[in-house]
């Protein structure tokens, strides 16, 4: 484990990312509008830029040993579909909580939009969202596989490409938790501006860190088994596109309790991690032995 190299990556990654967030905050720009979307897209590529800069400092090709391989296999398909499954599992767990109920009319989703939109805008959106579930799934998977996956690569080259490789000697589970903590903390400027947990921005930072720590082993496992950082990039894209599925049929609760980024999602992810641990206590063993 090259501590100095990891340190340089973190300083550059967080320095660039948080400076960009500070600059956006100081300018009169809208975090919730198109400007915020463009900022978020640029922000997601800061980890990849940090990897390129660190590799250049050492005179190495930017993608060397980062797992950038077009080695298509069944794990790529799993990386696309798994977030959708997780979203529906989280939806099911959400319905167990007191005060939460199933809403086939997507009433809960409309209630959440009411915080941001005027009544006439909500009325327009309702006509667009009340579509067959199959159409929604197709759209989710399409965006997860294309635009969202490209943006996801901007992050995954740093988290699962660089950090997972550099920290592999710490062991899969320990390194995954550390990477998850870093990954979650990196999101702090976005969370403080209302991303994922708009009603609880400060508590949302802690929630995001815990969520990423629970997600990191699954992303890391996909990275190892697929043999390519592109697979977790697809999973990242699919996850971002699928989160809404976990709340669109739910009425009640809050962003802290329902949905995939809420307590319901935490329960689902914790159970899957426990099952994965007992099935494969050392997922990185084969890769280490092959070198």
Q: What is the pTM of this model?
A: 0.89
The whole-number pLDDT of residue 79 equals: 95
Query: Mean pLDDT of successive 10-residue segments in the chain (291 residues)?
Result: 87 96 84 80 94 86 73 91 95 93 70 53 51 69 83 94 91 95 96 90 96 97 93 94 86 91 97 94 65 51
Separation between Cα atoms, residue 222 and residue 235, nearest integer Å:
9
Among residues 144, 143, 113, 115, the alpha carbon closest in space to that of 128 is found at 113
Separation between Cα atoms, residue 230 and residue 163, nearest integer Å:
15
Separation between Cα atoms, residue 231 and residue 200, nearest integer Å:
32
Report which DSSP code applies to 164.
H
Separation between Cα atoms, residue 52 and residue 204, nearest integer Å:
30
Non-local (6+) Cβ contacts of 156 within 8 A are 47, 219, 223, 229, 232, 233, 236
- What is 102-158 written as a DSSP string? E-TT-HHHHHHHTTTS-HHHHHHHHHHH-S-HHHHHHHHHHHHHTHHHHHHHHHHII
The domain in which residue 9 lies consists of 3-289
Letter string b/e over residues 222-260, b meaning 16 or more CB atoms within 10 A of that residue's CB: bbbbbebbbbbbbbbbbbbbbbbbbbbbbbbbbbbbbbb
Place of tokens 């099911």: 92
The whole-number pLDDT of residue 126 equals: 54
Separation between Cα atoms, residue 177 and residue 220, nearest integer Å:
10
Torsion of CA 168, 229, 182, 265, to 10 degrees: -110
Sign of CA dihedral 15, 44, 195, 269: negative
Widest distance between CA atoms in the chain = 61
Cβ–Cβ under 8 Å, residues 284 and 168: yes
The whole-number pLDDT of residue 129 equals: 47
Separation between Cα atoms, residue 171 and residue 266, nearest integer Å:
23
Non-local (6+) Cβ contacts of 111 within 8 A are 251
The whole-number pLDDT of residue 167 equals: 92
How many domains are contained in the chain?
A: 1
């Amino acid at each position: 484990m090259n501590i100095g190299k990891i340190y340089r990556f973190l300083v550059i990654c967080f320095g660039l990312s948080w400076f960009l967030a500070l600059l956006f905050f100081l300018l009169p720009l809208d975090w919730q509008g198109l400007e915020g979307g463009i900022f978020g897209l640029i922000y997601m590529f800061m980890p990849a830029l940090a990897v390129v800069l660190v590799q250049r400092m050492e005179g190495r090709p930017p993608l060397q040993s980062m797992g950038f391989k077009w080695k298509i296999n069944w794990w790529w398909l799993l990386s696309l579909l798994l977030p959708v499954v997780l979203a529906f599992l989280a939806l099911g767990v959400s319905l167990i909580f007191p005060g939460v109920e199933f809403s086939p009319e997507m009433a809960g989703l409309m209630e959440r939009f009411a915080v941001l939109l005027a009544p006439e805008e909500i009325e327009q959106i309702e006509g667009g969202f009340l579509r067959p579930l199959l159409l929604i799934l197709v759209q989710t998977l399409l965006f997860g596989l294309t635009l969202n996956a490209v943006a996801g690569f901007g992050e995954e080259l740093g988290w699962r490409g660089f950090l997972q490789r550099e920290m592999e000697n710490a062991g899969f589970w320990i390194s995954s938790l550390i990477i998850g903590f870093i990954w979650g903390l990196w999101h702090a400027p976005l969370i403080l501006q209302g991303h994922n947990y708009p009603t609880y921005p400060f508590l949302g930072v802690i929630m995001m860190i815990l969520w990423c720590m629970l997600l990191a082993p699954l992303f890391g496992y996909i990275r190892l088994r697929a043999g390519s950082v592109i697979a977790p990039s697809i999973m990242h894209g699919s996850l971002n596109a699928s989160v809404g599925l976990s709340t669109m049929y739910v009425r009640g609760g809050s962003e802290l309790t329902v949905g995939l980024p809420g307590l319901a999602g935490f329960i689902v992810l914790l159970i899957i991690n426990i099952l994965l641990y007992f099935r494969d206590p050392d997922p990185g063993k084969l890769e280490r032995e092959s070198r």
